[in-house]
Amino acid sequence: MKKPVKIFVMSVGPYHKNGTVKWLERIKAQDLAIVCLPKEFEENKESYTKRNIEVYIYDEKKYINDDFEFFGFKPRNCGGIGRQGIAEAVEKFGDKYVCFQLDDDTSSYSIRKNGKSSSIRNKESLCELIYAFEKFYQITGIDIAGVTGATPPSGKFMTSRKIFNNFLMHKGWKSNFWGFAALCSDDRRYTIYRNIIDLTPTVSTELAIIAFTQNQGDRDDGNAVIYNSDYSWKKSFALKMVAPWCSVQFIKEEENRVLFREFTKLSNLYPDISLEENGKIVGKLQ
Helices (H), the chain: 19-26, 45-49, 66-71, 79-93, 123-140, 175-178, 186-196, 224-227, 232-242
* pLDDT greater than 80 at residue 37: yes
Beta bridge pairs of residue 86: none
Q: Is 144 in contact with 80 (CB distance < 8 Å)?
A: no
Domain span at residue 222?
5-284
Comparing 215 with 16, the larger pLDDT belongs to: 16
Alpha carbons 184 and 171: distance in angstroms, whole number: 23
Give pLDDT, residue 31.
97
Instruction: Provide the pairing of β-strand 272-275 with 281-284.
Output: antiparallel
Alpha carbons 218 and 112: distance in angstroms, whole number: 28
Alpha carbons 112 and 99: distance in angstroms, whole number: 23
User: Which tens digit of pLDDT belongs to each residue from 88-128?
Assistant: 999 999 999 999 989 888 888 888 777 677 889 999 999 99
Kindly state the percentage of the chain with pLDDT values over 70.
64
Alpha carbons 55 and 36: distance in angstroms, whole number: 6
CATH number at residue 41: 3.90.550
What's the pTM? 0.82
* pLDDT greater than 50 at residue 277: yes
Instruction: Provide the pairing of β-strand 143-150 with 202-212.
Output: parallel
Per-range mean pLDDT, top range of 51-55, 182-186, 214-218: 51-55
Give the total number of structural domains in the chain.
1
Alpha carbons 44 and 276: distance in angstroms, whole number: 45
With a CB cutoff of 8 Å and minimum separation 6, the contacts of 136 are 142, 144, 203, 275
